[in-house]
Amino acid sequence: MSKKGKPKICICLSGKTIEENLRILERYRAVVDYVELRADCLEPSERFNIRSFPEKAQLPCILTIRRKQDGGNFEDGEGVRLVLFAKALSFPKPDAKANYAFVDLEDDFRTPVIEEACHTFGTRIVRSHYFHDGIPENFGAAYEQIAQEDDEIPKLVVNPQSSADFIRFLEWAIRVPKREHLLIATGAYGIVSRVLAWRFGSMWTYASPLHSGMEIAAPGHFDPFDLRNIYNFDLVNEQTELYSLIGQHSILASLSPYLHNKAFREMGKDALLVPTPVDSFADGLKILELLGGKGAAITVPFKEDVLPFLAFHSTDVKRIGACNTLVRRGDAWAGYNTDADGFERSLLEFLGKQDLSGCRATIIGAGGAAKSIALALFRKGARCLVLNRTYSAGRDLARKYNFLYSHLDDRASDLISEYSDILVQATSVGMREELDPISFYEFKGSEVVFDLIYHPSKTLLLKRAEEAGCRVLNGYKMLCYQAAGQYKLWMDEPPPDIYAQLEQPKFS
Ligand code: ATR
C-alpha cells in the first residue's frame, strides 16, 4: 500500500502524438495518480519531444520505451533507445514536476550513463523483468536479480497461461517481503493482481484509457474510471474484506462486481468483490483462501463443482443441486443458492403477481440456471414444460417436479403453444451470437418471454418476441435480486435498495 494509504493508478498513454496523449490525460486527470508515457508508441518524429512531457502533464511521469521483444513497439535498436533516454532525462529543471519522476529500464539494460543521470536528477528507476510466455519455475530468481538496488523499484511481469500458473505467482507474491515494488500478472488470469495491486504491495496498478478509445497498453488493463467506480480504488485498504466472483473468462463481462461494489460503497462496507477467472472451481477456491476471502459468488460453469467443498448446504442448494453463494463460517464454507429467489422476485414483480397458480410455462434448458428456474416456478404453482437439447437432462429435471418435457426442436411447437403464458430461456444460446433456441416457434403475442441473458440486453429471441407483441424481460433484474440475496448472506443484514434501483448500465 502506498504512503497515502490508498491504492494508486498509473494511466498508460500509448497515443501516436504527445498532444493526443495530453488530450486524453485531461479526461482522466482527476482519477489517476501517475502517468506512463509509452514513448515506443509515439510516431518517430514525436519521440524527440518527450523531454517536454512531464511539464505538460503536471503529474508524476514514468518514461517507458518498450522494445518489441518485451511487448512494445520500439524496433530501432538499443543505440537509438539510449539516445532517447538521454534526451528525456537530461537538462533537469529546478521544478521537479518538469522532470520524469520514474524511468522504466529493463533488467538487461544496464547503462551507467543513464543510471548516473537518474541518480543525479532524482528520477527513480523502475527495474523491470518480463516473462511473456507463462511463468518459469525459477521466476523468483528474476525478482531477486531486479531487487538488488534499494533505491530502485523492481517490477516483475508474468503472463500466466492457466489459473494454476496464477496460483503459483500469488503464493510467491504473498510471501515476498514488502517493499516498493510492482508485481503484475497480465491477461485474464492475472486480473486479481491488477484489481488488488495494493494486496501485492505494488506501488500502483497500470490502467489504459479504454473508454476514450485508446488501445489497451497491456492485456488485463482496466480503464481508470472502472478502477474507481467499480473497484472502489478510492476506498479500499489493507483491511478491506474480499469476496470473489468465481467463473470462467466470461465473468469479465459480468455486472456482479458493479452491483456489489456499489452496494458496499453505499452501505459503508469495507468490502470488495473481485472477478477471478479460473479453469476449475478448486483453483478459484484456492485463490479465495490465499487472499483470506470471506465469501464468493459462483457462476457458470462451477455452480455444481462447488458442492463437494461445502460443509453446509442450504435447502435450496440441496433441491436445486447447485450453489451460487459461498459464505465463510469459521474454517469451513457454507453454500447457498439465491438464483431461484432472484428469478421469482423479478418475474413476479414484472407480472405484478404474488403467485403463478394456473400459469403454464415453458423452460428452455436444463442446466444449472434452468434448475433454479424450475424450483421457483414449481414453488409458485406454475405447471411447466421443459425443453432441452439433451433430452435426458430435460427429462431428469422435469421429473423432479412432475413437469412435462420434450425435445428442443420443432416437435415441441404445439406443446409450447399450450405452455405459453410464460417462456423462460435458460440456456447460453444468444449470449455470444444472434441465435434463437426456439426459432421454430411462432409467437402468438400473448406470451411473457423472459431471457435470463442480460448481455446482450436484448437477444434475438427477445427481439422476435417483442416484434410479435409479447411482453419481454431480460435477466438483469434477476441478477440484481440474486445479488441482493448474496449481500444478505455475506453481511447478515437486509440488502440496500440499490440492488432494486440500479438501472442496467448502457455498456452491457
Ligand atoms: P447454466 O448454469 O448457465 O445453466 P449449464 O449448466 O452449462 O449452464 O447449462 C447450459 C444449458 O444450455 C443446458 O441446458 C444446455 O443444453 P444441454 O443440456 O443439451 O447441454 C444448453 N445449451 C448450451 N448450448 C446450447 C446450444 N447450442 N443449443 C441448445 N442448448 C444449448
Q: What is the pLDDT of residue 507?
A: 55
Q: Quote the ligand 1 centre to 401 CA distance (angstroms).
A: 20
- pLDDT tens figures, 365-399: 999 899 999 999 999 999 999 999 999 999 999 99
DSSP state of 97: G
- 383 with 419: CB under 8 angstroms? yes
C-alpha cell at 202: 505494488
pLDDT tens per residue across span 9-43: 999 999 999 999 999 999 999 999 999 999 999 99
Which residue ranges in the chain fall short of pLDDT 50? Answer: 2-3, 508
Q: What local confidence, expressed as pLDDT, does residue 4 receive?
A: 52
For atom 5 of ligand 1, the residue with the nearest CA is 367
Whether ligand 1 lies within 6 angstroms of the CB of 212 is answered as no
Please state the atom number of ligand 1 nearest to the C-alpha of residue 426: 4
* Whole-number Cα distances in Å, 431 to 36, 220, 393, 453: 36, 22, 21, 6
From the CA of 366, how far away is ligand 1's center (Å)? 7
Residue of 389, 429, 441, 479 best suited for mutating to test ligand 1, as the one with most atoms within 8 Å of CB: 389
Give the catalytic positions in this structure. Answer: 303
- For the chain, the residue count is 508
Residue 274: partners with Cβ closer than 8 Å, 6 or more residues away: 191, 192, 195, 196, 231, 242, 243, 244, 245, 257
Containing H/E element for 349?
helix 339-351
pTM of the predicted protein model: 0.93
Q: What is the pLDDT of residue 3?
A: 44
CA atoms of 185 and 188, how far apart (whole Å):
9
The residue among 492, 451, 486, 487 whose CA lies nearest residue 339 is 486
Query: 258 Cβ partners below 8 Å, 6+ apart?
Result: 230, 502, 505
Q: Which atom of ligand 1 is nearest to the CA of 364?
A: 14
Give, for 378, the enclosing helix (H) or strand (E): helix 368-379
The position carrying cell 411462432 is 442
- Classify 128 as helix, strand or coil: strand
Q: How far is CA 175 from CA 127, 154, 202, 283, 309, in A?
A: 20, 16, 14, 19, 26
What pLDDT, on a 0 to 100 scale, did the predictor assign at position 31?
Answer: 97
Nearest CA to ligand 1 atom 13: 367
Report whether residue 370 contacts ligand 1, using a CB cutoff of 6 Å: yes
pLDDT at position 2 is: 45
Ligand 1 binding pocket includes 369 (Cβ within 6 Å): yes
Spatial separation of the C-alpha atoms in residues 36 and 213, rounded to whole Å: 17
Sign of CA dihedral 267, 270, 275, 280: negative
The CA R_g of the chain, rounded to the nearest whole Å, is 26
The alpha carbon dihedral of 222, 228, 234, 239 has a sign of: negative
What SS3 state is found at 369? helix
Q: Is the CB of 366 under 6 A from ligand 1?
A: yes
Q: What is the CA(487)–ligand 1 centre distance, in A?
A: 28
| pLDDT attached to residue 501 | 94
- Check if 300 has its Cβ closer than 6 Å to any atom of ligand 1: yes
Q: Could you tell me if the CB of 371 is within 6 A of ligand 1?
A: no
364 C-alpha vs ligand 1 centroid, how far in Å? 9
How many Å apart are CA 473 and CA 178, to the nearest integer?
50
Peptide bond into 277 cis (omega under 30): no
pLDDT at position 5? 64
